[in-house]
Structure 1
Amino acid sequence: MADASIAARIAAQPGIQRVPSPKLTLFVKRGFLDAGACAGLVAMIDAQRRPSTVSDFNGDAAFRTSETCDLAAADPLVAAVDAALAAFTGLDPLHGEPLQGQRYAVGQEFKAHTDYFEPNGVDYDRYCSVAGNRTWTAMVYLNEPEAGGATRFKAVDKTIQPETGKLVCWDNRRADGLLNPATIHHGMKVRAGTKYVITKWYRERPWGW
């Protein structure tokens, strides 16, 4: 399904909010997941977390300081969330990367970045040779930290606050199909408590690993 059709499908979903900007396609929906599902995913992340990594390392060891969890696709809760995201967005689940969880403790962040892989980056072929580049991102906050942890889209000066079950999804490309640098976003530092999210990235072609 073309990106315009995906955007139209998402825009038609109940309770969806579209950020009013011509620079990018960005949606927010509160209450996408219920508290029970969020708590179950948090427990999985806590049990299996590892240090997060980045592609095309820029020399900044503090660029991404969170922890990551690869969520098992065969787990019934993970499978249900995967299916819910595909049904809501209309994105082909065969094009989806495995669902990931992220945990941010006090002081941890992911500095301003885009989710797609830069075609001139040293890791481009390694990450994109099979399934192509990332097209859409879907992220769900699993809890509300006591302070901090917002997601800021710098190019449109939009800051989204964490809220249990809130979905944020965006197209990493422009209407002409080119990669969109206006999707640059910052997972801001947690100042008190802990932040948990899940992230689902979709690709140009079926996920082949």
Structure 2
Amino acid sequence: MTAHTPPASIGERLSSTPGVRRFPNRKLDLFLAPDFLDTDACAAIIALIDEQRRPSTQADANGDPLYRTSETCDLDCAHPAVAALDARIAALTGLDPAHGEPMQGQRYAVGQEFKDHTDYFEPGGLDYDRYCTGCGQRTWTVMIYLNQPAAGGATRFRRIDKIIQPETGKLLAWNNLDAAGQPNGWTLHHGMKVRSGTKYVVTKWFRQHRWPHG
């Protein structure tokens, strides 16, 4: 992990960071940092998403064409705005950038959502070997709301009955694995429907091993 914080202490690091709040639930490690990103930085990423957005996909199709209806943009890590955001995420969390997947942006129009899902890859799932061989399982998710839609668009962690409202620049971070290093089903969450306006978020996932492997 080079000089960066080992995975086991990421939660401790975030807990001790001023301005970061840990949700009081023993079932998962979930953190919130309001005003992590200023409006200008958010606007720069939104512009990039709008330039290259495409229909979102999912690793394991479940036969529901309305399961994930957002649009996605694969952000260029060499772009100055993206590189700056990558560096800020690493500085806050201590997560090793070498273990990070390329950052993605998502756009949700009215009525669009991402139904209940987890960010880890389901062991035994159709594409588990394809996505996890080499780089390993997803560990942490870092998601930032880039704007505040007029209505709707909250993130609901259903199993702990926690709803988090989108606000410009707000960061969420959670560990997709439990204390034993196994996929944590308590991280099940729902990107709820936008009722009015448009929602933009940016997401950064981290792996157990370097990305890309080798």
Q: The TM-score by the shorter chain falls in which range?
A: over 0.9
Amino acid at match of 2:208: E
- Counterpart of 2:13 in structure 1 is 9
- Return the match for 2:150 from 146, 151, 160: 146
Please name the residue that 1:77 is paired with.
81
Displacement, 1:14?
Answer: 1.3
TM-score by length of 2: 0.96
Q: Distance in 2 between matches of 1:114 and 1:51?
A: 19
Q: CA deviation at 1:183?
A: 0.1
1:132 counterpart residue number = 136
TM-score, normalised relative to structure 1: 0.98
Aligned pairs for 1:51-130 (under 5 A) are 51-130=55-134
8 Å CA contact retained: 2:7, 2:95: no
Tell me which residue corresponds to 1:46.
50
Counterpart of 2:59, as a letter, is S
Unaligned runs of 5+ in 1: none
Task: Report the counterpart of residue 188 of structure 1 in structure 2.
Answer: 192
* AA in 2 matched with 1:90: G
Match for residue 31 of structure 2 among 27, 42, 61: 27
Alignment of 1:145-184 (within 5 A): 145-184=149-188
Aligned pairs, number: 209
Whether contact under 8 Å (1:3, 1:171) holds in the other structure is no
> Partner of 1:8: helix, strand, or coil?
helix
1:106 and 1:193 in contact (8 A); partners too = yes
Q: Deviations over 1:83-134 (max 9, x none)?
A: 1001100000000000100000000000000000011101011111121110
1:145 deviation in Å?
A: 0.2
AA aligned to 1:118 is: E
- CA positional deviation for 1:2: 4.0
Q: Post-superposition shift, 1:177?
A: 1.2
Spell out, residue by residue over 1:44-92, the C-alpha distance to the aligned partner (whole angstroms, 9 max, x if none).
1011100000011000000000000001000011000001001100000
Tell me, in whole angstroms, the C-alpha distance in 1 between the residues paired with 2:15 and 2:8.
Answer: 10
AA aligned opposite 1:51: P
Superposed displacement of residue 27, structure 1: 0.2
Give the secondary structure class of the aligned counterpart of 2:21.
Answer: strand
Structure 2: runs of 5+ lacking an equivalent: none
